[in-house]
Structure 1
Amino acid sequence: MRRHLAATAGCGVIITGAAIACAVVLAHLLAGIITDPATRSLGHWSVTLWVLLTLWGIRVLAQWAQARLSQRAATAAIADLNRRLLTGVTGLSPRELAARRDEAAVLVTRGLDGLRPYYTRYLPTAVQAVILTPAAVVVMALYDLQSAVIVMIALPLVPLFMVLIGLVTAERSAASLMAMGTLQSRLLDLISGIPTLRAIGRAEGPEHRITELAAAHRRSTMATLRITFLSSLVLELLATLGVALVAVSVGLRLVFGDVELASALTALLLAPEVFWPLRRVGAEFHAAQDGKTAQAKAYALLNETATPPDGSLISTSKSSIRFDAVSVAGRNGDAPQRLSAAVEPGTVTVLTGPNGAGKSTALYALLGLVSPTSGQVLVGENDVRTLDLRHWWSQIAWLPQRPAFVPGTVRENLELFGPLADLDDACRQAGFDDVITSLPDGLDTVLGRDGTGLSLGQRQRLALARLFGAKRSILLLDEPTAHLDDAREEHVLRSIRKAAREGAAVLVIGHREVIRAVGDHVIEIGGEVRVTH
């Protein structure tokens, strides 16, 4: 942005110099033609006309360069802010992300695009006002001091009304952004819930609420536009009155012979140049206000989601993991509630219990994605919250209930989080090798969104192959045998036992007796914690 401001200021200096020079040259050209009939020929003024055309050309080129640089700066600034915002938001815990999802979605998809008018129109115009207006007043004073005094008296009224109108517009912009965010979140919730609404026969109900929200957003937008039009009218009226006062003063003094024609025309031609940047600033301020409001909210969100300083780096290959009276507050109380358990290297620990008891939340706490309300998760003697999370995650292989898949080949999905130590062996351990042989293009078979092209069981085995091939010292598996038949379930459980015998600390979430049987330790959580060896 420093380079952009410097380039914008440089173009502004060139535009200012060309504009003032054009006014002076044109005034002397007209004065000469009017006062000296003998010079009324094209040949006499050919050099002056070429100078005038050159100045106009320089001004046009400088304005084009300023607009081009502003577009590039706007694109770069918006992209950078979007990247930082996405990085900050996606680094939040699941609960914090859910709380800020709607606000972040509005800012990234639409809100920050409002910054483009700020960078491309408002900022160059503001720079131009700082350079052109004072320079034009100074040159006007050199030719006609009285006109400069009149302009100096009328000029402060423009920024005064700009400030008063801007205060009202800022509130309107914030209200408009809030209405847009509410409407978008309602739409997202409605779209995601359409299958459920259709299943229970309520698909035709929520559109009335959406209509009401859309009407509220429309009213807010129209109120902002009304203020914009009225403020533009006020600023144009003030500027027009200022130029009219200069014209009346110059005209009266010309009649009485108190001023030369060239000086009078110079003052008259420079008067619009004095007011023009300020009129543009007032007009562009409203166009940029929505973007500025979104930018302020983005920076506030970035401050809330600032990444904490890097924690300690530890190796977990021989470290035990302990849940020390861990409780995490939820909608219906703590889940888990005072969970105390240990996960040792070389063993399989099974976490079981009723739905909603906090089994998956315990994994989130172990991963550092959720902070316990009380208690702590220890890796060796270190609290997970003090670790460098990226280094900590590099030692963990995690299979969530809904594994991640991207549109692409099977190979790309297997290596989604990095190359596998032994792809063939990983596929054999997960029972995915027979799936590969059945696919038309093997590992190069293209999958759609969320693994479309594979059955649920095949997707589960693909995710398991990705986990086994990572060769991490900690394995976290949430319902690893979901969607698998008995034979494949037994095969996967043997592979889990094999990974533990090779030294990995394995934590499995499961309900079925066959999963409980594979554990060296079974931890039942619910109302109270019960550990079975």
Structure 2
Amino acid sequence: MKPLDPRLPAHTRAARVFLTGTVLFGLVTTGLVLAQAVLLARILAGAFHGQGVAPLASAFVLLLIVVAGRALAAYGAEAMALRAASAVKSQLRRALVEHVLRLGPGWMDASPEHDERAAEATASKPGELATLATRGLDALDAYFARYLPQLVLACLTPLAVLAVVGGADPLSAGVIAATLPLIPIFMILVGLHTRARTERQWTLLQRLGGHFLDVVEGLPTLKVFGRAKAQAEVIREVTGAHRRATMRTLRVAFLSALVLELLSTLAVALVAVEIGLRLLGGGVPYETALLVLLLAPEAYLPLRNVGAQFHASMEGVTAAGRVLDVLDIAAPEERTATGHAPEDAPLRLEGVTVRYPGRDRPALADVSLEVGAGERLVVIGPSGGGKSTLLAVILRFVQPTEGCTGFDDVPVAEWRKRLSWVPQDPYLFTGSVADNIRLGDPGADDRAVRRAAELAGADAFIRRSPGGYGTPIGERGLRLSSGERQRIALARAFLRDAPVLLLDEPTAHLDGENAREIRATVERLMAGRTVVLVTHDHTWTGVADRVAEIDNGRLVVHEGTREPLAVAS
């Protein structure tokens, strides 16, 4: 593992400022360490030779100043590190959320590539991202406040100690120089072993977080079908696996700390023995011997601390690396050129093929299609035939593997302003009814929101609610029926008033009465708009200018029919 991911400073300004400050504090701390050893050796040697208090008073005062300076430097470095960690976490979280929004739902739903990590991780991407943005990035505190400062000291202090000891006693400096490399060598060996264990621990944590999120969201369904206890057992197994992986990682951390402590203790003892024997033989002055004995532990201490803090920081480093991996993925805006297309330009696909990783056959295969302004196209086909992928390409949630579209040169944000989308299962957020409708046009006033609700047939049930348009609806609209959720989604589309309307199974999962009412609302919404409606319900073909059939990713367009197609028996 690299001590510092080179991508981190590039993504966070706070990291660059912190690294500069850490080096400066490291230089100050190293200077104070050397000054403290020199002053303490002078005081002890003076006392040994019988000097009085007066000659040593100035050294005492300077020693107190140096000790206070070390304390202040340590406090300042840690305070700056914690502030930097907080800023870095905030910047990474914001960058992660903004970049995932740019990547879009197509990336969130894509199958993972077949690498070793993905093979083990069964967590959904939303669960993984939630774990990364919360628990994962919170672990960066130890990395910034403990590990990086010690890493800087480990680079500066041993060299400074060798320079000072070398000027006072070259033989002792040679012993220190010969034994110092042993600690980094063992740190590297232990680190290679620890990295694999930490990756395994983090993968299990992602799996646990993602699975727990899925279970909580699907708890009503699990209770109805009597599967809640079975899922609780699955969570218990995943939790147990994560606990065992964590304990194995901690065991390695404790053993490595023991090894590093043993090595540094033996090295200091070796220096103490050789300098002590020469002191007894009169081969080295007393003050020089004291200076060497005081500085020798300081040469090894930062290296020992780096080893100890390495394990504490690994979780944060791993999480930050995963976040940076996500940020390195090219977003659709970065793959498209800036351009402009007329508002009445046809919606066109030319030879579009979409392949998802890990799937043998394409979701769309050489699809060519042109929908003129104001035209209604109904696309019918079985589940899994490619209907949703077709809409995802138009929405630019998915980039075609092959072929092109007539809107490739239009910036993604500009293109989506022309679209209204009513999905099969509309997502409603925690908040009020008005807030959820206003997603169609965030700047709309209350009158426009009410008008959109009236057009969607939602005004009546909203007014019957205790809080009216201010009624909270719960996450995913759990307090509403399926028909009411669909009407909220249609109200969004009415409020958006975009020229192109995309509909995905608008009456799926609704009873007969609700389906008829929603159908009448949808037909009002279609008026004067370019419409692409995908469905497995053949009765929708009666409102179409053209009908297309899609199956196994292949699209066939039928010209000019408004009669419902016969349903194959």
TM-score, with length taken from structure 1: 0.87
Quote the residue 1:357 is aligned against: 385
Quote the residue 1:366 is aligned against: 394
1:228 to 253, 256, 281: 253
Residue 373 to residue 27, structure 1, CA distance change in 2 (3 Å): closer
Identify unmatched segments of 5+ residues in structure 1.
none
Letter in 2 for 1:51: L
Residue 423 to residue 210, structure 1, CA distance change in 2 (3 Å): closer
Verify: 1:397 aligned to 2:420, yes or no: yes
Q: Supply the distance in 2 between the matched residues of 1:256 and 1:306 (Cα, whole angstroms).
A: 73
Shift, 1:187, TM fit = 4.0
Q: Supply the distance in 2 between the matched residues of 1:409 and 1:134 (Cα, whole angstroms).
A: 63
Q: Supply the distance in 1 between the matched residues of 2:470 and 2:228 (Cα, whole angstroms).
A: 40
Identify unmatched segments of 5+ residues in structure 2.
1-14, 113-124, 562-569
Shift, 1:424, TM fit = 4.5
Q: Supply the distance in 2 between the matched residues of 1:423 and 1:204 (Cα, whole angstroms).
A: 43
Q: Supply the distance in 1 between the matched residues of 2:507 and 2:228 (Cα, whole angstroms).
A: 34
Which segments of structure 1 move beyond 6 Å, counting only runs of 4 or more?
none
Quote the residue 1:72 is aligned against: 83
Q: Supply the distance in 2 between the matched residues of 1:497 and 1:356 (Cα, whole angstroms).
A: 26
Quote the residue 2:497 is aligned against: 471
- Determine if contact 1:493/1:518 at 8 Å carries over to the other structure: no
Quote the residue 1:249 is aligned against: 274
Verify: 1:13 aligned to 2:27, yes or no: yes
Shift, 1:5, TM fit = 1.1
Letter in 1 for 2:444: L
Counterparts of 1:413-428 in structure 2, within 5 Å, are 413-417=436-440, 418-420=442-444, 422-428=448-454
Residue 222 to residue 180, structure 1, CA distance change in 2 (3 Å): same
Residue 265 to residue 419, structure 1, CA distance change in 2 (3 Å): same
Quote the residue 2:196 is aligned against: 171
Quote the residue 2:122 is aligned against: none
Q: Supply the distance in 2 between the matched residues of 1:297 and 1:485 (Cα, whole angstroms).
A: 45
Letter in 1 for 2:60: L
Structure 2 SS opposite 1:351: strand
Shift, 1:197, TM fit = 4.6
- Determine if contact 1:429/1:491 at 8 Å carries over to the other structure: no
Letter in 2 for 1:474: V
Shift, 1:171, TM fit = 2.2
Verify: 1:82 aligned to 2:93, yes or no: yes
Shift, 1:131, TM fit = 1.8
Quote the residue 2:547 is aligned against: 522
Deviations 1:185-204 (A, max 9, x none): 44445555555554444444
Alignment: residue pair count:
521
Deviations 1:58-104 (A, max 9, x none): 11011111011111222222333333333444444545423351554
Structure 2 SS opposite 1:397: strand
Quote the residue 2:68 is aligned against: 57
Quote the residue 1:321 is aligned against: 347
Quote the residue 1:24 is aligned against: 38
Quote the residue 1:287 is aligned against: 312
Deviations 1:203-250 (A, max 9, x none): 444555544444433333333222222221221122112222222233
Quote the residue 1:146 is aligned against: 171
Q: Supply the distance in 2 between the matched residues of 1:325 and 1:242 (Cα, whole angstroms).
A: 70
Quote the residue 1:48 is aligned against: 59
Residue 309 to residue 361, structure 1, CA distance change in 2 (3 Å): closer
Letter in 2 for 1:250: I
- Determine if contact 1:187/1:210 at 8 Å carries over to the other structure: yes
Letter in 1 for 2:91: D
Q: Identity over aligned residues, as a percent?
A: 37
Shift, 1:530, TM fit = 5.0
Letter in 2 for 1:23: A
Q: Supply the distance in 1 between the matched residues of 2:249 and 2:536 (Cα, whole angstroms).
A: 57
Residue 47 to residue 68, structure 1, CA distance change in 2 (3 Å): same
Structure 2 SS opposite 1:485: helix
Deviations 1:370-429 (A, max 9, x none): 2446655x3xxx2x4554222211211111122232222333222224223844443332
Letter in 2 for 1:72: R
- Determine if contact 1:335/1:361 at 8 Å carries over to the other structure: yes
Structure 2 SS opposite 1:477: strand
Verify: 1:267 aligned to 2:292, yes or no: yes
Quote the residue 2:525 is aligned against: 496
Q: Supply the distance in 1 between the matched residues of 2:462 and 2:223 (Cα, whole angstroms).
A: 37
2:301 to 276, 288, 292: 276
Deviates more, 1:470-479 or 1:451-460: 451-460
Letter in 2 for 1:392: W
Shift, 1:470, TM fit = 1.4
Deviates more, 1:243-252 or 1:6-15: 243-252
Structure 2 SS opposite 1:314: coil
Letter in 2 for 1:520: D
Residue 219 to residue 497, structure 1, CA distance change in 2 (3 Å): closer
Verify: 1:445 aligned to 2:467, yes or no: no
Residue 276 to residue 200, structure 1, CA distance change in 2 (3 Å): same
Superposed CA RMSD in Å reads 3.1
Residue 192 to residue 154, structure 1, CA distance change in 2 (3 Å): same
Q: Supply the distance in 2 between the matched residues of 1:183 and 1:54 (Cα, whole angstroms).
A: 52
Verify: 1:129 aligned to 2:154, yes or no: yes
Letter in 2 for 1:311: A
Letter in 1 for 2:473: L
- Determine if contact 2:507/2:515 at 8 Å carries over to the other structure: no
